[in-house]
Amino acid sequence: MFKHLLAAAVLCGAVATSPASAQTSRIQVKGELVDTWCSVTGIMFAAGTAHHMCAVWCAVGGIPVSIKDEAGNYYMVLRIAEDDENASNPRFVKIMSHEVSVDGELVERDGTKYLFVTRVIDDQGVVNLTHEDNGIQPFGN
Amino acid sequence: MRKLLATAFAICSMSSTSHAAEAWGIEHEKLVEFSARVVDIACTLKNDCPPDCGGGKRLLGLMTEDGKLRTAVKASVDFAGAVNDLLPYCGKTIQVDGLLIENPAITMVMVQRMRERADQDWVKTEAFARNWEARNGKSDEWFRNDPLAKKVIAEDGVYGIKGLEPPKQ
């Protein structure tokens, strides 16, 4: 019994400390796929239909893609299921601005939430209709 | 008076060259210059490590000397990240000049200039544009002429919804 407890404690310790200073948990996230730079900085109106074209450009350009939930949390996507390419990945480009629900593994480190998506539960497409109030950002065309 | 103006000019000149990074007026931004090792973020977090930091297909980060992982989100090129600039330095320590944005929701770095050693000139982070033009030809606005971006926007429209078009001008 003691041996089992000891082994479990060692395993737990290994999980908790590897990699250094990162915290890992399972999570379900629902939100919009955004280009992280524009959305966080607020330089342009970076949400929904008004910003869709810019979001596509940024994803092609290798700017990290995040899921932004209703509470304003950003989950930077580092993997979708077996697809571990996370820079300029055409799969990401094609679903920018979509509202998605995903299961995944959350790794928090140094102020950033990183998400390794294990399953896409739902993809509603683009549902955040912002263009009527904001036109096409950032250039108007 | 002339002495005072000369002194003020000298101080201003010093302060403008000590931080060449451009401020963007972003909330929570700080002008920073620091040394860091270039890392594949997924490799660092999950020990999932393809060769050569993923060869351009992985987001790259900067591991600072005090062990902080900073995601390199943006380079100097419009709508482009810093992967192309950092990739040749995978595993190496470089010096970075840019913006650190410590938003409560996320921490990230805009890399504006970089160099490998202090005795080298700073290099502006424009590798994405160079590499893109080598593949696609010269363009003032790479993003409007990128084949993948054009294809996705042609298929789904500028709003991302098939059939929903902006009003004709």
What span, in angstroms and rounded, lies between the C-alpha atoms of B169 and B162? 20
Chain B contact for A134 (CB, 8 A cutoff) = no
Q: Which of B79, B80, B77, B72 is nearest to B37 (CA)?
A: B72
Q: Does A84 touch chain B (CB under 8 A)?
A: yes
The residue ranges of every structural domain in chain A are: 22-134
B145-157 pLDDT, tens per residue? Answer: 999 999 999 999 9
Neighbour count for residue A25 (Cβ, 10 Å): 9
| Assembly ipTM | 0.88
Over residues B50-69, the pLDDT tens digits come to 999 999 999 999 999 999 99
Distance from CA of B88 to the nearest CA of A (A): 15
What is this structure's pTM? 0.87
> Is A52–B54 a contact, with Cβ atoms under 8 angstroms apart?
no
Is the Cβ pair B161, A126 closer than 8 Å? Answer: yes
B159/A98 touch (CB, cutoff 8 Å), yes or no: no
Question: pLDDT (tens digit, 9 = 90+) per residue, B80-132?
Answer: 999 999 999 999 999 999 999 999 999 999 999 999 999 999 999 999 999 99
The angle, 0 to 180 degrees and rounded to 10, between the axes of the packed helices B147-156 and A52-60 is 150
Compute the average pLDDT of residues B20-41: 95
User: Do the bridges between strand A74-80 and strand B60-64 make them parallel or antiparallel, or are there none, so unpaired?
Assistant: unpaired
Instruction: Write out chain A's pLDDT in tens, 141 residues.
Output: 444 544 444 444 333 334 556 789 999 999 999 999 999 998 877 899 999 999 999 999 999 999 999 999 999 999 999 999 999 999 999 999 999 999 999 999 999 999 999 999 999 999 999 998 888 888 877
Which of the listed CATH numbers 3.40.50, 3.90.550, 2.40.50, 1.25.10 matches domain A22-134?
A: 2.40.50
**Average confidence (pLDDT) over B137-150:** 97
Contact of B9 with chain A, judged by CB distance below 8 Å, is answered with no
Q: Does B69 touch chain A (CB under 8 A)?
A: yes
